[in-house]
Structure 1
Amino acid sequence: MSSNKQNQEVAQHQLNGKKLSGNSLKRYDSLDLESSKVPGAKKALKWTVILKLAFQSIGVVYGDIGTSPLYVFATIFPNGVTYNEDILGALSLIFYTITLIPLIKYVFIVLRANDNGDGGTFALYSLICRYSKVGLIPSQQPEDKDVSNFKIGLPDRRTRRASKLKSNLESSNFAKFVLLIATMLGTSMVIGDGILAPCVSVLSAVGGLKAAAPSQLTEGRLVWIAVAILLLLFMFQRFGTEKVGNTFAPILCLWFIFIAGIGLYNFVKYDPTVIRALNPKYIIDYFKRNKKNAWISLGGVVMCITGGEALFADVGHFSVRSVQISMCCVTYPALILAYLGQAAFLRKNIDDISDTFYKSIPNGLYWPVFAVAVLAAIIASQALISGTFAIIQQSLALGCFPHVKIVHTSTKYHGQIYIPEVNNLLMIACVVVTLAFRTTENLSSAYGIAVVFVMILTSGFLVLVMIMIWKTHILFVIMYVLIIGSVELIYLSSVLYKFTQGGYLPLAFAMFLMFIMYVWNYVYRKKYHFELEHKISPLKVKETVDETNSHRLPGLAIFYSELVHGIPPIFKHYVENVPALHSVLVFVSVKSLPISKVPIEERFLFRRVKPSDVYVFRCAVRYGYNDVRNEEEPFERLLVERLKEFIRDDSILSLNATKSNKVSTEQSVNVELESDCEIQEVETSSMERDIQVVERAYSVGVVHLVGEQDVIASKGSNIVKRVVIDYAFNFLKRNLRQSSKVFDIPHKRMLKVGMIYEI
């Protein structure tokens, strides 16, 4: 009796964490049982780590907004200053714009709307999708819900308003479509920022050379110097965010010290009374005097907040607290002092408006400041380049971007990545734009539209988050829309005025990128639903295996599929053409989870396809953002080891299920113990046999079977659908990285199985 009790306690201990139903043990799907083991949210960072990340963030996040003093006053007054008091009006606009949008909106509000630590337009979209069924992306199917990135959270229905908005969004296909398109548009605009930001920053910095030696350095030579600097910048990206941040952060810190110190010097020396500009009355007077010209000049004021979206897009590389600390303690004070000093200088030197920054540098500091300015301008590009990498990673997880290789550059910090293909495309685009536009003034119109458009889209998503997820009081939502929303709309109206002067450029970039993203996502969804509708039932698998039973080959075969549950239709296609199966089959679905790392012991989730003697398994393999396959962690060996562990756990579960289902009769204790021992012996023998079969198959060799699905439009499709599927998608598929390269599958042991999907 004591021996049996001890065995039951051991079995119960090994079943810890699995679900029980009522008083009896229910036989659960293993994927459902183990999916609850997903590690929870990231642990709170120590203050030493937060401060280190805050320091690094200075070198990555704030380069763009930090170098805006190089050109803001020149873009506000391209034709010179008419009234001296206009300088105070412009300074007041700059002060309140920086305070309202980067500081209050992004640092204190938007950063709270991160999705498991990640920021950007896609992060907002995925956050909304987790609280309501509004996603068009196939990530909320019953087959995926336990292991998907976007497992739906149940919102608290404390308010009627949140529930009503949620139900309205869920019931409207048009609203779902608009949300997805807006997400793609916002993402495309941020990538457009990533193209324009390096061009504007570097061109404005090298302009200091022309001021020092105007006769030797022509515009053409300056442009080629800017191109050389841009090439060096993008080549440096391969070293990763951590090395880039540690390298650039001291330079940016020195830059902020310089601009703050020069600003304070000019403020005291020339005109301390410019502090009056903190009174918004000067904004009203500015508009009264200049009317339409004042409204047009808002496009120049926008340049003081370029890179504001990077605060949110780059938060995944660091943490919310670290970005807040660096902004409030370093960036914001330095920028305010810099603009105060420039305004004070201009009050006494009104004719130097076209080159305010360099002309305001005190004697003896020109060349040191110029050197740091060039370095800071190079670094300024980093904010949106890193942000572009982050949002491309998010869009990949949502099936909205073609396959690209993501290199995780840090094992310590969440989200620090490098994408070689995207980096190269950004570099080429930057060089082309720099050669085409040649000056900062020509680029400012284009850059302003991209900046404001992204901010408005972020505000729209944020209002949904406030109402539906945060349950924010309606008065605060109204205040946000009336104050920040209306300011952003006014700025948008101003930058659109210069649409024909280069403003079309970011929209052209956005339309091109949106087309690629929508085509890929549309076919991705169609393919997924095709596989879901045509998946093979376990009964059909048994029939298929029985038909080929005389041709079971020794070895282990791994089939890769998007489906978590169910056997993909390509399996049947394979068997029909190659009537032989390996002795052990594992259908693998690779999933990314919104956490930094998944422990190795929790990475593989298995389910057995009945009957047991066919040796067919399904497996979901879960990776976190920072999990990387490498030689020290061979995928095949890990999969086999976890499969053997699963067989042991599955055997124990079957044993206890059998015991719990025995009909209670008036038998003696000895007879009951005898029966239990027989059952245990049978299960143990079966478990050992199954493990031996897996080990023997693994020792013979592993074959990776990758589906190569060719997609064509079904008969009767309209011309738009045929163009999208037959031409646009297939062109992208032929010219971009294949999934086998993304998953690092060994080529010597990989077989591609082709099949045509008519969708």
Structure 2
Amino acid sequence: MSTHKDLRKLTVPGLLISLGIIYGDIGTSPLYVFKAIVGDNPITESLALGGVSLIFWTLTLQTTVKYVLITLLADNKGEGGIFSLFSLVRRKAKWLIVPAVLGGCALLADGIITPPITISSAIEGLHTRYPYLPTMQIVICIIALLFFIQQFGTSLVGKAFGPIMFLWFTMMGVLGIAFIIQMPSIIKALNPYYAYNLLVNGSGHSSAFIILGAVFLCTTGAEALYSDLGHCGRSNIRVSWIYVKSCLVLNYLGQAVWLMQREGQTIDLDLHNPFYQIMPSWFLIFGIGLATVAAIIASQALISGSFTLIAEAVRLNLWPKVRINYPSDQKGQLYVPSINWILCVGCIIVVLIFQHSQDMEAAYGLSITVAMLMTTILVSKFLQRRKVPAYLIGIFLVVYLLIEGTFLLGNLVKFIHGGWFTLSIGLLLFMVMWSWHTARRIKNRYVKFIEIEDYFQILKELSDDETVPKYSSQLVYLTSANFNSEIESKIIYSILQKQPKRADVYWLVHVDVVDEPYTREYEVDFLVPNKLIRIDFKLGFRVEQRINVLFRKVVEELVKNGEVNITSKYKSLGKHNIVGDFRFVVIEKTLSRSHNLSFYEQLIMDIYVQLKKMSLSEERGFGLDLSFVTIEKVPLVLTQQDNIELKRVPVSTGVN
């Protein structure tokens, strides 16, 4: 596994990996950005020059300055992404959970629209040769195959991503240069005046907000630069971005030249996409093939990012526990079956609803603008934590809230044309995350903790009381008590009253998810020597919580050090040094009805109950061996029972 220091090194393999997994989304934007900017408008000089100028300055301010130069500084032990950033700053203020959840949901919603639009844009290039080819069916087949292969892992295919994307960017740069040579004066479009002129004086064109909504599509993959920080490292991302941005700008300039050569015309961009029009006819089929592969790579990166996002959300208690598989030993390689098929169905629905990439453009961009705004808020808190002067943080906030707020307004214009779809998906995801998070807080509010020291003597006596049948040699409870001095009253009730459970040793296991991504630490507290032992695991938010394996490892070390004896106390087994049996008890708190909850809290708890039915059980979520687990359901009473007065009457004798 790469260390934090290794990730900081600038290497050729690191640069290639960066090209392969980070720039897929932003790198396939030239397929559809100019199509969206031009739309149904007649081509004019101000539209072509202003379009390139807006693209260049959006990439510069949004991607280069905000993400590559500033946001990449916010690495959490080498890891990036909105939940890594949240873990860095969450102790600053409780309300930061809101931008973190909103941003996470927006990124997941983006995962449903990116594969359809990128793959459709690539495949629709075939219309140049075959105008009546039904591309929609081809796109659905590619998407279905892409999601089907996720379960087998993508580490082998992933090794080829870097060289393919290097070829892709080089091709775009070369094609752009071929047209720039025909009109070198196009370079003047990099002057911000042309961007300003198009937005302010763009008479005859779409409104400024519609144009901005289209331009924003050029930077939609910027969030991936930060999310994949852990895979590539800051130096590799920054250096590779120089090459990527150069190739992108050259290609956009080349497309602008092609448009300028057709000034005054109104073009059917579905049949004459500027991206494919700047390709020589003999190269077109190779270009479409490479574009399709690049689109699949872009989609793959986003799908993998969605898996990582959900895995982090589960460990931060922001998402119901779901099955997470690890198809290969590669760092960060994981597969979440439920999310995979939700995304798959979502992507196919997008293709069926919108059918053409031109129609999908309206649905694209709105959710990712929200994600970028949330990142801006969290980064400002990170800069505050780094003791950056307040006036610089103020400038950062004002500039980027203004830029992204303007882009948000530009994308809201597209709401009725398709933006409603991703916004609806995002709101649905937000409802799930917020309900799960809030319901846990409501439940924890009513969990009763008691002083464990008060029960030391009785636990010791119960353990030695041979008149009580032995329940297990080693009895393990999962506890949510943060302090060693406390324990849930329900655990004591389970041991002493709900079928008294005699054991040689009682174990309490607590899991604390810490802010660092890959921490694996534990503490052992011998509360009553050889009778009551507490183990506290401190696990990073990217560490798999396989408590069964981790607990066994800790016990083995304690036995090896002579700190605990787990040999069976049964005479017939003990004399042969047979290890005693272990049993886990998981207490499942079921919510009792309460009329004292507000309407909002009751609604949250109703949603939580439904989500709980669909999620993994606690024991499966913690990776416990089910053959050694007992599940005990206990009611969680939220309020004191009402005072009920009953009147006793004499027994009726039945005699008149």
Normalising by structure 1, report the TM-score. Answer: 0.76
Change in 2 beyond 3 A, CA 1:48/1:561: same
Change in 2 beyond 3 A, CA 1:642/1:97: same
The farther-off stretch of 237-246 and 108-117 is 237-246
1:643-682 pair list within 5 angstroms: 643-644=558-559, 648=563
Contact 1:395-1:401 within 8 A present in 2 as well: yes
What's the offset of the Cα at 1:536? 4.9
Q: 1:97-138, CA deviations, whole angstroms, 9 ceiling, x for partnerless residues?
A: 1111111110110111233333232222221124x3x23xxx
1:641 corresponds to which letter in structure 2? E
Report the equivalent of 2:238. Answer: 324
Q: 1:276-314, CA deviations, whole angstroms, 9 ceiling, x for partnerless residues?
A: 011111123223432562332111111111111111122
**2:401 aligned with 1:485:** yes
1:559-638 pair list within 5 angstroms: 559-564=477-482, 565=484, 566-575=486-495, 576-595=497-516, 597=518, 603-610=521-528, 612=529, 615-624=531-540, 634-635=549-550, 637-638=552-553
Contact 2:377-2:397 within 8 A present in 1 as well: no
The farther-off stretch of 698-707 and 363-372 is 698-707
What's the offset of the Cα at 1:435? 0.9
1:543-554 pair list within 5 angstroms: 543-547=458-462, 549-550=465-466, 551=468, 553=470
What's the offset of the Cα at 1:715? 4.2
Contact 1:88-1:277 within 8 A present in 2 as well: yes
Q: Taking every aligned residue pair, what percent have the same amino acid on both sides? A: 27
Mapped to 1, the partners of 2:489 and 2:147 lie a distance apart of 43
Report the equivalent of 2:146. Answer: 233
Q: 2:251 aligns with which of 335, 338, 344?
A: 338
**2:245 aligned with 1:284:** no
1:441 corresponds to which letter in structure 2? Q
Report the equivalent of 1:446. Answer: 363
Q: 1:737 aligns with which of 595, 609, 616?
A: 616
Mapped to 1, the partners of 2:307 and 2:545 lie a distance apart of 20
Report the equivalent of 1:712. Answer: 592
1:182-197 pair list within 5 angstroms: 182-197=99-114
Report the equivalent of 2:455. Answer: 540
Report the equivalent of 2:602. Answer: 722
Contact 2:110-2:422 within 8 A present in 1 as well: yes
2:349 corresponds to which letter in structure 1? V
Change in 2 beyond 3 A, CA 1:732/1:535: farther
Q: 1:206 aligns with which of 105, 115, 123?
A: 123
The 3-state SS of whatever aligns with 1:44 is helix
Mapped to 1, the partners of 2:121 and 2:396 lie a distance apart of 34
Mapped to 1, the partners of 2:70 and 2:155 lie a distance apart of 26
Change in 2 beyond 3 A, CA 1:325/1:539: same
Instruction: Give the number of equivalent residue pairs.
Output: 620
Normalising by structure 2, report the TM-score. Answer: 0.88
Q: 1:75 aligns with which of 36, 44, 50?
A: 36
The farther-off stretch of 244-253 and 442-451 is 244-253
Q: 1:97 aligns with which of 58, 63, 85?
A: 58
Mapped to 2, the partners of 1:698 and 1:272 lie a distance apart of 84
Contact 2:71-2:379 within 8 A present in 1 as well: yes
What's the offset of the Cα at 1:520? 0.8
Q: 2:388 aligns with which of 472, 484, 492?
A: 472
Q: 2:286 aligns with which of 347, 368, 379?
A: 368
Unaligned runs of 5+ in 2: 639-656
Change in 2 beyond 3 A, CA 1:626/1:301: closer
Q: CA RMSD in A?
A: 2.8
Contact 1:58-1:245 within 8 A present in 2 as well: no
Mapped to 1, the partners of 2:120 and 2:559 lie a distance apart of 60
**2:305 aligned with 1:387:** yes
What's the offset of the Cα at 1:628? 5.5
Contact 2:209-2:411 within 8 A present in 1 as well: no
Change in 2 beyond 3 A, CA 1:463/1:626: closer
Mapped to 1, the partners of 2:395 and 2:8 lie a distance apart of 34
**2:638 aligned with 1:754:** no
Contact 2:568-2:580 within 8 A present in 1 as well: no
1:712 corresponds to which letter in structure 2? S
Change in 2 beyond 3 A, CA 1:481/1:580: closer
Change in 2 beyond 3 A, CA 1:754/1:447: same
Change in 2 beyond 3 A, CA 1:229/1:528: same
Mapped to 2, the partners of 1:314 and 1:357 lie a distance apart of 27
Q: 1:302 aligns with which of 216, 236, 250?
A: 216
1:402-441 pair list within 5 angstroms: 402-408=320-326, 411=329, 413=331, 415-441=332-358
Mapped to 2, the partners of 1:406 and 1:641 lie a distance apart of 26
Q: 1:166-191, CA deviations, whole angstroms, 9 ceiling, x for partnerless residues?
A: xxxxxxxxxx2xx3222211111111
1:253-264 pair list within 5 angstroms: 253-264=166-177
1:275 corresponds to which letter in structure 2? I
1:373 corresponds to which letter in structure 2? A
Change in 2 beyond 3 A, CA 1:323/1:84: same
Change in 2 beyond 3 A, CA 1:711/1:110: same
**2:617 aligned with 1:701:** no
Mapped to 1, the partners of 2:229 and 2:578 lie a distance apart of 43
Contact 1:400-1:517 within 8 A present in 2 as well: yes
Q: 1:204-240, CA deviations, whole angstroms, 9 ceiling, x for partnerless residues?
A: 111112221113x1xxx32121111111222233344
The 3-state SS of whatever aligns with 1:710 is strand
The 3-state SS of whatever aligns with 1:509 is helix
Mapped to 2, the partners of 1:698 and 1:458 lie a distance apart of 56
Contact 1:560-1:588 within 8 A present in 2 as well: yes
Mapped to 1, the partners of 2:275 and 2:635 lie a distance apart of 62
What's the offset of the Cα at 1:552? 5.9
